[in-house]
Every structure is written in C-alpha cells, then in structure tokens.
Amino acid sequence: MNKQSWQIAAAYMSVVVGGGFASGQEVLQFFTGYGMASVIGTLVSAALFAFLGMQIARMSSNMQANSHKKVLYTLFGTRAGLVVDVVLSFFLFGVGVVMLAGSGSIFTQQYGWPPLVGSVFMTVLVVATLCLKVKGIIRLISIIMPVLLLLILAITTYSFFNSTASSETLNKVAQDIPTISSDWPISNWFFGAVLYASFNIAVGFPMLAVIGGMTRSEKTAASGGAMGGLGLGLLVFLLNIGLF
C-alpha cells in the first residue's frame, strides 16, 4: 500500500470518527447494549465499512470526480441523485449541529464554561479548517487519526485490565441497558450493526468521494477505502470492548 492509499484510509477514518464515535453513545446504543453479540456486530460493520469504502473510492477514481455529486448522479441518475443529495446535505447539517453542541457540552463539563463558548470555539476551528485547500484538509485529518487511535487503544487497554467483573455479569448488565432506556434505537444487534455502518457511510461519503477522485489509480483508491473501512471496524471493536 502506497502513501496515497494510507492518506485516503486515514482521511476516511478521521471523518467518520468525528460523526460516529464522538460521544461513545453511538457505539453503546448500536453495539454494547446487546452484550457479547455486539462483538459479531462490530465485524458486520467492519465488513460494510470496508466494502462500501472500497467501492466509493474506486468509482470516484474511475470518474476522476471532484465532487460527491458526480458519484451520486452516476449511482442514482440526475433526478433521484438530486433528491439524495438534498437529503444527504440536510443530514450532514444535522450531524454538524450536534457535534458543535457536543463541543459546548465538553467545555461545560470540564471547565464549567457556558456551552456557547465551546460551540463558538469549535465553529472557529471548523471554519479555519475549511479555508484550507482539499489537500491541506486531508493532511490535517490524516495527522489527527493516529492520535485518536492511540487514545482509544489506551482507554480500551485500561478498561480491559481494570475490569473485575466476570464476562457473564458484564453481559447481563449490557443487555439490561436497553430495558432501562425508553428510546433505545434498535431491538436487534444485526440491524444495529447495519444501521450504524449506513449512518457513518453517509457522513464519510462526500469526503471519500472527493479524496478518491484525486488519484488516477483505481487500485490505490480502492485499497485506501478498504483499509480505512477495516480500520474503522477495528476502532468500533476496541471501543465496544472498552465500553463492555
């Protein structure tokens, strides 16, 4: 795997991590709440992340796409593609608002500052990042990804070696979580895994489509998308084990 493949993989992972891993609630509700079966669920999501990431990046490279719209219109046609694009844009806007609100909550919890301060601070960072060219954004998020991976590994390792309960006890506690919550999203671990991958592919699709179009080698783009998907699956697996 060459440097471009690694950059595509790291960028794909970084974008998805921001939307689907940020609070821990996502992994808890889509995986951990189903107990030991959640481990199989993480493998299902990993396979979907890898396959879909590979196909999106390969198609984008083949078309030399400079926008996600070109890939969308090829997949769905002009009219249906426009509808999907509008829905996707609305969806991404909602994810962005939630993430900015989450940033405000972090500053409140850690420092006691008003939520508005944290949200404004993160908004400024987002705007500054978007002022970079596409290659600059890719380099930036590719640098952040290894840091996130190290943090997740450290937290998971700490949780694993400091757990004193048996697997049976942990499994029962995990399975009791959905019964306590009145708004649990899914009742089956398999559908939870599929929906989680679908949600995060929607988050990562626009950036992955643009990144894939920046390389002329379909093999390079496809391997980057596949490796990024497998990396995301590994992160989901580690986070799930840590939460479990």
DSSP letters spanning 106-123: HHHHHH---HHHHHHHHH
Q: What is the pLDDT of residues 136-146, one digit of tens each?
A: 877 787 777 78
Domain chopping of the chain, boundaries? 3-76+135-243
Amino acid symbol at 90:
F
pTM of the model: 0.85
The answer, yes or no, to whether residue 65 has pLDDT greater than 90, is no
Burial of 210 (0-12, 13-18, 19+ CB in 10 A): buried
Contact status, residue 60 vs residue 208, Cβ threshold 8 Å: yes
Tokens 């993480």 correspond to 42
The two structure tokens encoding residue 219:
């093999």
Dihedrals φ, ψ of 36, to 5°? Answer: -65, -25
d(CA 136, CA 141): 9
What was the pLDDT predicted at 23?
63
Tell me what pLDDT residue 237 has.
92
Cα–Cα distance measured from residue 106 to residue 118, given in angstroms and rounded to the nearest whole number: 7
CB 43 within 8 A of CB 233: yes
